[in-house]
Structure formats: structure tokens, C-alpha cells
Amino acid sequence: MKNRIESYYEIAKNLKKEYPKLSEFEILSLAVQIERNQILENGLAVSFEDKY
């Protein structure tokens, strides 16, 4: 099942709300890593309908 991929801007905005003590660099680094992981998860997702 594929998930919606958030942009790193949306992720950074949410992280800033949840963790206000993080620096801008830390927030952007985490946001890029999270977006990359979402892309990888979607790329590796296999549905039950896929067959050999």
C-alpha cells in the first residue's frame, strides 16, 4: 500500500511545531531524511495483487 509523500517543507513545518528546540539545520536534515524514507517505502511497496 502506497502512502502520500509529504514535501520536506510540510515535514519541516510539523517538526518545528512538535520540537521547537531543534535548530533549523536539524529540522531540515530530519525532513529530508523522512521524505527520502517515504519515497523508499513507496518504491518498495508490494501489493497482494502482484504475482510472479
What's the pLDDT tens digit per position in 7-39? Answer: 989 999 999 999 999 999 999 999 999 999 888
DSSP letter string, 1-52? ---PPPPHHHHHHHHHHH-TTS-HHHHHHHHHHHHHHHHHHHHH---TT---
Decide: 47 and 1 in contact? Cβ < 8 Å.
yes
Contact 28, 8 (CB under 8 A): yes
Does the pLDDT at position 52 exceed 60? no
Residue 4's pLDDT is what?
A: 81
Handedness of CA 20, 21, 22, 23 (dihedral sign): positive
